Amino acid sequence: MPLDLDQRKLFGLEYWVKHWYRYGLCFDRYSRLLQQTAAFSPQALQAFQNQHLKRMVGAAYRDIPYYRDLFSDLKLKPEAIQTAADLTKLPYLTKELVVANFDKLVSVKKRNFLCKVAKTSGTTGSPAQFIRSFNSINFENAAVWRQWKTGGDQGGKRRITLRGEVVVPMSQSKPPFWRFNPANQELLMCGFHLNENTFEAYLQKIMAFQPQILSSYPSNAYALAKYFRQHKISYRFDAVFTSSETLSPGVRQFIEETFQTRVYDWYGQAERVAAIGHCPKGTYHIQEDYSLVELSPMGQNFEIVGTHLFNEVMPLIRYKTGDLVKANPEQSCDCGSHFRTVASIDGRSCDYILTPEGYRISAANHIFHGVENVLEGQLYQDNRDCLIIKVVAASGFTEHDRAELIRNARENTSERMKIVVEEVDHIRRAPNGKFQSIVSRLPLDHNGPPETLASPA
Ligand SMILES: [Zn+2]
């Protein structure tokens, strides 16, 4: 299990530690800064970006061996990078390069005990790790809070979350399927346990708690909305905040109509090199003060390439996220923001695993967490009673690793499911070239317009 549930029960201690970490010492300062920059003119924004870009490139050259070598190979000095346009003098950075050069990409001088390591699982190509400075964690949280304020939550609203976290053990079949986080005053509900049989319990809890905000994966918010409609129950949220999966227009409309509110979607990634969020007009805006984003043409779409402006411990410059956006023909938005707009984000696969009990598992990370010798991994399902874990194994892959994968999968999915580990030479990419961590051939009900959706799982 990724979480030590017994420890978490102790006075919500983990929640308070997390809370302290996220809000840290610089949260207020960054929040004030981001309130100002949100109102900047295009010229002021450009000046802001260039100022921080120069600082970041200077720090990278000074403290990061990888960049010192790179600049030296290119016969460049950091002064050559004065503006965003100058970035094209440098090559792209990829996840493969980060994996191969990890030690050389971290500032030995700046790294301290407050830094956190973020790992991408083995499910998205080669696993990589990234170091986040304490300040950059505060900054991220300030950026997310600005988005929530845009959606009308100035803090203090009652909130339920339905995300990809296992809140209570998967083997638990009776409520409560939730836990209260006293640090954030939020009710963490387990998205995996929500189904036709458990909905009544969820509903009672929600009605007793009277939440004003729903913070959720799109697939979970959609599932919840579907049950409210089926049971003909009317409920209004002040706002729904979604993130971490692709939000399709049909799902968005369904959630908005059901809960008589607006959905504010947010795009980010473990590397934290780019963020995109909905404004009150429902337009996606690139958060121009969060990082420096280049849109690199790829077919009819654009790949998001990002450069850190606020992480001096492990600055990523021109990092290719692999996530795609569609251009917005309208370009501008009448919400008043001068941040660039995009029409849609085609980031992550929103397939999920369906268990025999009807649970929907949309996060594959837990299954590969801590398992050695897996180069790439993908969850595949074409039969509801069976889960296939496809792995491209490294030479040291053993029966122990295989057993570990099955154990992790069992804990995070279902006791009743058959779980098979299948070694493969290569994992096929999606037609758009993207790696998919979950592929399902079952008729999933989250992509089409609501009226054509299949019957509930
Ligand atoms: Zn707007």
CATH code at 433?
3.30.300.30
Do 398 and 370 share a structural domain? yes
344 alpha carbon – ligand 1 mean position (Å): 13
Q: Give the per-residue pLDDT at 434.
A: 55
Are 114 and 171 found together in one domain? Answer: no
Residue 286 alpha carbon to ligand 1 centre in Å: 10
Domain boundary among 297, 314, 347: 347
Ramachandran assignment for 244, one of left (phi > 0), alpha (psi -120 to 50 degrees), beta (any other): left
- Domain assignment present for residue 323? The answer is yes
Instruction: Give 213 Cα–ligand 1 centroid separation in angstroms.
Output: 21
Which of 70-74, 233-237, 269-273 shows the lowest mean pLDDT across its residues?
269-273
Using the mean position of ligand 1's atoms as its centre, give its distance from the Cα of residue 289 in Å: 15
- Does residue 185 lie within any of the structural domains? yes
The more confidently predicted of residues 180 and 8 is: 180
Question: Residues 343, 358: one domain?
Answer: no
Same domain, 244 and 125: no
**Could you tell me which residue, 7 or 261, shows the higher pLDDT?**
261
Same-domain check for residues 291 and 230: no
Same domain for 393 and 417?
A: yes
Dihedral sign, Cα of residue 16, residue 22, residue 26, residue 29: negative
* pLDDT tens digits along 335-347: 999 999 999 887 5
Q: Once rounded to an integer, what is the mean pLDDT over residues 205-224?
A: 92
Please name which of 188, 196, 260, 189 lies closest in space to residue 226, comparing C-alpha atoms.
Answer: 196
* Residue 199, H or E segment: helix 199-209
DSSP 439: E
CA 334 to centroid of ligand 1, rounded, Å = 6
User: Mean pLDDT throughout 311-323?
Assistant: 93
Q: Cα of 38 to ligand 1 centre, how many Å? A: 11
- The pLDDT value recorded for residue 282 is 94
pLDDT at position 67: 97
Can you tell me the distance from the alpha carbon of 169 to that of 159, in angstroms, rounded to the nearest whole number?
A: 22
Give the domain CATH number at 28. 3.40.50.12780
Q: How confident is the model at residue 220 (pLDDT cuts 50, 70, 90)?
A: confident
Q: What is the mean pLDDT of residues 194-204?
A: 91
Distance 280 CA to ligand 1 centre (A): 6
Cα 169 to middle of ligand 1, angstroms = 40
Task: Give the distance (Å) from ligand 1 centre to CA of residue 257.
Answer: 21
Instruction: With beta carbons less than 8 A apart as the criterion, state whether 17 and 137 touch.
Output: no
- pLDDT computed for residue 25 by the predictor: 76
Are residues 147 and 12 located together in one domain of the fold? Answer: yes
User: In the prediction, which pLDDT does 118 show?
Assistant: 86
Q: What local confidence, expressed as pLDDT, does residue 300 receive?
A: 76
Q: Which two tokens stand for residue 322?
A: 């692999």
Q: Are residues 301 and 424 in the same domain?
A: no
CA of 287 to the centre of ligand 1 (A): 11
Same domain, 173 and 256: yes
Span from the CA of 283 to the centroid of ligand 1 (angstroms): 5
Residue 404 lies in a domain: yes
**What's the 335 CA to ligand 1 centre distance in angstroms?**
4
- Regarding predicted confidence, which is higher, 112 or 315? 315
**Rounded mean pLDDT, 192-214:** 93
For residue 88, the CA-to-ligand 1 centroid distance in Å is 28
In a domain, 214, yes or no: yes
- State the distance from the centre of ligand 1 to the C-alpha of 263, rounded, in angstroms: 14
Q: Could you tell me the distance, in angstroms and rounded to a whole number, from the CA of residue 281 to the centre of ligand 1? A: 5
Burial class (CB in 10 A: 0-12, 13-18, 19+), 431: exposed
274 occurs within a structural domain = no
In angstroms, what is the span from residue 39 Cα to ligand 1's centroid?
12
Domain membership of residue 90 (yes or no) is yes
Residues 6+ apart with CB under 8 A from 348: 244, 245, 246, 323, 437
pLDDT digits 0-9 by tens, 45-92 = 999 999 999 999 999 999 999 999 999 999 999 999 999 999 999 999
User: 341: CA distance to ligand 1 center in Å?
Assistant: 8
Distance 332 CA to ligand 1 centre (A): 8
Answer yes or no: is pLDDT of 452 > 50: no
Residue 5: per-residue pLDDT: 45
> Which pLDDT score, from 0 to 100, does residue 308 have?
96
Over range 288-300, report the average pLDDT. Answer: 91
- pLDDT attached to residue 432: 53
Instruction: State in Å: Cα 340 to ligand 1 middle.
Output: 9
| Residues 305, 202 within the same domain | no
Confidence label for 431 from pLDDT (cuts 50, 70 and 90): low
Q: How far apart are the first and last CA of the chain?
A: 25
What is the pLDDT, as a whole number, of residue 336?
93
Q: How far is the CA of 278 from the centre of ligand 1 (A)?
A: 7
284 Cα: distance to centroid of ligand 1 (angstroms): 7
Instruction: Choose one of 347, 366, 384: the last residue of a domain.
Output: 347
- Compute the distance from residue 19 Cα to the ligand 1 centre, in Å: 30
Question: In this model, does residue 195 exceed pLDDT 60?
Answer: yes
* One domain for residues 251 and 170: yes
Q: Per residue in 130-187, pLDDT tens?
A: 999 988 999 999 999 999 999 999 988 999 999 877 788 878 889 999 999 888 789 9
Domain annotation covers residue 88: yes
How many Å lie between the centroid of ligand 1 and the Cα of residue 339? 8
Mean predicted confidence (pLDDT) in 319-324 = 88
CA of 455 from ligand 1 middle (Å) equals 35
Domain of residue 64, residue span? 1-151+284-347
Q: Average per-residue pLDDT in the chain?
A: 86
The residue from 331, 347, 363 where one domain ends is: 347
What is the predicted pLDDT for the residue at 457? Answer: 29
Going from the Cα of 333 to the center of ligand 1, the distance in angstroms, rounded, reads 5
CA of 327 to the centre of ligand 1 (A): 14
Q: Tell whether 368 and 420 lie within a shared domain.
A: yes
pLDDT at 26: 86
What's the CA-to-centroid distance between 342 and ligand 1, angstroms?
Answer: 10
239-253, pLDDT tens digit by residue? Answer: 999 998 778 787 898
pLDDT at 393 over 80: yes
The percent of residues in the chain predicted with pLDDT above 90, rounded, is 53
Residue 195: alpha-carbon gap to chain centroid: 24
Domain count, the chain: 3
Q: How far is the CA of 48 from the centre of ligand 1 (A)?
A: 20
Quick one: pLDDT at residue 197?
86
Distance 282 CA to ligand 1 centre (A): 7
* Ligand 1 centroid distance, CA of 432 (Å): 28
Q: Is residue 273 part of a domain?
A: no
Distance 265 CA to ligand 1 centre (A): 13
